[in-house]
Structure 1
Amino acid sequence: MSIIQPNILVFSPMQTDVETYAESIRNDGFMSVKTATTLDEVEKYLPGTEVILGWHFPTHLLSKPIASSVRWFQSMGAGVNDLIEDKSIPESIILTRIVNQFGTYISEYVFSFLLYIVKDYPRMRQSQLERRWDPFISETLKGKTIGVAGLGSIGAEIVRKARVFDMNVHGLSFSGKQASLVDCHFTPDQLSEFVKDLDYLVLTLPLTDSTHHIMTRDLLLAMKPKACLINVGRGLLIDEENLISVMQSGHLQTAILDVFETEPLPKDHVFWTMPNVYVTSHLSGPSTIEGVSSFFIGNLKRFLSEQPLHGLVDRKRGY
């Protein structure tokens, strides 16, 4: 039976966020919306809740009787490996993640760094600080080879922007559905072949059992000595100890890292002080309140009309 006004619970540790989300949902005509920022509030409002929009939700409660009415959990983010690994979430609860929201942000992040490096902006800035006239000919992205590991919506947008810079574009994916986007497509059993000719490798893969520490020491060493590694996927795609060792040996020119095995990155981590590593604080693909609200409301309407939901999580696939 279709639910005209489902009971919705919005949860985030940030009070201002949940109120803004709730206001957006109510403005679209869905009035039965509760908000929670603490465990006590969740326990108070879970009974009777059918739909959850959540971030860092106390998922252990979903297996308890107070959550027996929950039918659908919409994550506010794209990564859901924590939800998939959490066996306390009943199989009967539909899981969805945010998709098609991050390509613009992440692709701009990637190319801002690539241009910064290839045009040698640090040299130009230093010349200005020293009031030193220093004309030089920089390199160009044109003709360079970029490899995108993961050809979902984020990877596809990186490919699109790479075309604008006249780059050679290689891609790797598990399904092969987007193979036509790239000049050369590789499958996971061709990892070494995929990375060996790249000037830039961008990781946008989800975290699954098969992608955990996919960037092994051998694979890092298979890359060109002057290649650049960019990780905007998940921190655990890379074995950090091996990356540190490989880079300290002089292999790889640069690593641009927005995600890490442990977040926040510990203050004593060597990445902070390595001159050829750029560290950012998991900010390349922000979940904006406007974007998430719009996605959720669209999915909510699909849910009520019993249409397939966008961002549906396949627990077996891992994302």
Structure 2
Amino acid sequence: MNSSQPNILVFDPHHAEEYANCVRECGFKAVKAAATYEEAEMFLPGTEIILGWKFPTQLLHTPNALSVRWFQSMGAGVNDLVANSSIPDDILLTRIVDQFGTYISEYIFAYLLHIVKDIPRMRQAQTERNWDSFISDSLAKKTIGVAGLGSIGAETVRKAKAFDMKVHGLSFSGKNAEIVDQHFTANQWKDFVKDLDYLVLTLPLTEKTYHVINREILFSMKPDSCLVNVGRGALIAENDLQSVLEEGHLKAAILDVFETEPLPKDHRFYSMPNVYVTSHLSGPSTTEGVTQFFVDNVIKYLNGETLHGIVDRKRGY
């Protein structure tokens, strides 16, 4: 291994050269950029480190990839990489962590305030030149449940407390249990959701969390509660959610992630008045943020230190 200048391959179908240039500007010159399968295949021999998004992982099981030691994902979600048998076990996987809490928590509360303050009614009154001096509701004393208490969940909890909300949390590992008013474990979903005004999902997608929000859990929630998903689309059984909403249960669903993305144009969610659909935008990966995370990890790698964001393949994230 060339400890001073490891061979780095940056792969992104749309912004590979932009990321590669940022890495080069940080002092690493042995950096190549690929945006296609053919380019990745050409540059892979001799590559030690990959910074990638939507990388053609089947290439990692070929002789061209024998030099690869570490794959850094540009995103936080790695369920597709973990489930991919094409990636040899001896390649270290890392993901981006601790960069999305601010953006995603702001997204969550933008929508919760939009609903609780009835902003549409205010805008409608303005449009109609109607002096509609109503009293809106408040988030204070409402109960919010955050499923997943990693960096995103923890920042959501912090902001919820600033709004004087009661905060419940659920986590599979027990991580950050002390930051919430009441903590629940993975076998307590019904007890967790039954008193919530708002349920926020920030969980990763694993075998244990796939379709964890189904008809049974949704009907365990209060009829006027709201669901927010900023984790992974497949946390929710979408057909169950659609039917539950159509039956009049739940006040609203705020969905930034879906099982199929982009969400098909003919999907019912688009036209449902109590469903808010956004295009997986709540936690953007910025070029600067991803590059800085990666470069910091490269320095750790060269110094023989433990990398940040290491993926536990058995756990799934």
Query: Which bracket does the TM-score occupy, shorter chain normalised?
Result: over 0.9
Distance 2:187 2:261 in 1: 30
Instruction: Write the mapping of 1:263-282 to structure 2, written as runs, cut at 5 A.
Output: 263-282=261-280
2:9 corresponds to: 9
> Is 2:256 the partner of 1:285?
no
Name the counterpart of 2:254: 256
Percent of pairs with identical residues:
68
Listed as ranges, the matches of 1:47-126 within 5 Å are 47-126=45-124
> Quick one: distance in 2 between partners of 1:101 and 1:2?
30
Alpha-carbon deviations, 1:65-121, whole Å to 9, x = none? 001000000000000000011001000100000000000000000000000000000
**Is the 1:8–1:49 Cα contact (8 Å) retained in structure 2?**
yes
Match of 1:296 among 285, 294, 297: 294
Q: Counterpart of 1:146 in 2: which secondary structure?
A: strand
Q: Contact 2:139–2:163 (CA<8 Å) still a contact in 1?
A: yes
Q: Distance in 2 between matches of 1:2 and 1:226?
A: 60
Aligned-residue offset at 1:29 = 1.3
Deviation, 1:279, is 0.3
Pairwise CA distance, 1:24: 1.6
Greater Cα shift, 179-188 or 25-34: 25-34
Tell me the SS of whatever aligns to 1:189: coil
Distance in 1 between residues matched to 2:3 and 2:90, nearest whole Å: 17
1:211 alignment counterpart: 209
Structure 2 residue corresponding to 1:151, chosen from 149, 156, 174 = 149
Give runs of ≥4 in structure 1 deviating > 2 Å.
none
AA of the residue aligned to 2:182: C
Once the two structures are superposed, the pairs formed by residues 176-215 of structure 1 within 5 Å of their partners are 176-215=174-213
The letter of the residue matching 1:9 is L
Contact preservation (8 Å) 2:52, 2:73? yes
Distance 2:52 2:290 in 1: 11
CA distance in 2, matches of 1:141, 1:198: 12
Residues 139-185 of structure 1, C-alpha deviations (whole Å, 9 max, x = no match)? 00000000000000000000000011000000000111200000000
Aligned residues: 317
Do 1:205 and 1:233's aligned partners in 2 also have CA atoms closer than 8 Å? Answer: yes
CA distance in 2, matches of 1:310, 1:173: 21
Unaligned runs of 5+ in 2: none
Deviations 1:34-63 (A, max 9, x none): 000011111110000000000000000000
Instruction: Say if 1:2 and 1:305, in contact at 8 Å, map to a contact too.
Output: no
In 2, Cα distance between the equivalents of 1:2 and 1:178?
39
Shift, 1:23, TM fit: 1.7
TM-score, with structure 1 as normaliser: 0.98
Once the two structures are TM-superposed, the CA of residue 261 in structure 1 deviates from its matched residue by 1.1
Indicate if the aligned counterparts of 2:22 and 2:291 stay in contact, CA closer than 8 A: yes
TM-score normalised by length of structure 2: 0.99
- Paired with 1:183 and 1:314, the residues of 2 have a C-alpha distance of 29
User: How big is each residue's C-alpha offset from its partner over 1:8-34, in whole Å with a ceiling of 9 and x where there is no partner?
Assistant: 0000001xx222211221122111000
Letter in structure 1 aligned against 2:34: A
Separation in 2, partners of 1:91, 1:123:
55
Once the two structures are superposed, the pairs formed by residues 24-63 of structure 1 within 5 Å of their partners are 24-63=22-61
Q: Tell me, what secondary structure is at the counterpart of 2:219? A: helix
Alignment RMSD (CA, Å)? 0.7
Gaps of 5+ in 1: none
User: For the Cα contact (< 8 Å) 2:104–2:283, is it kept in 1?
Assistant: yes
> 2:188 aligns to what SS in structure 1?
helix
CA distance in 1, matches of 2:187, 2:78: 25
After superposition, what is the alpha-carbon deviation per residue over 1:182-232, rounded to whole angstroms, capped at 9, x for unaligned?
000000111000000000000000000000000011100000000000000
- The answer on whether the counterparts of 1:2 and 1:304 sit within 8 Å (CA) in structure 2 is no
**8 Å contact kept, 1:142–1:165:** yes
Q: Within 1, Cα distance between the matches of 2:112 and 2:261? A: 24
1:164 match: 162
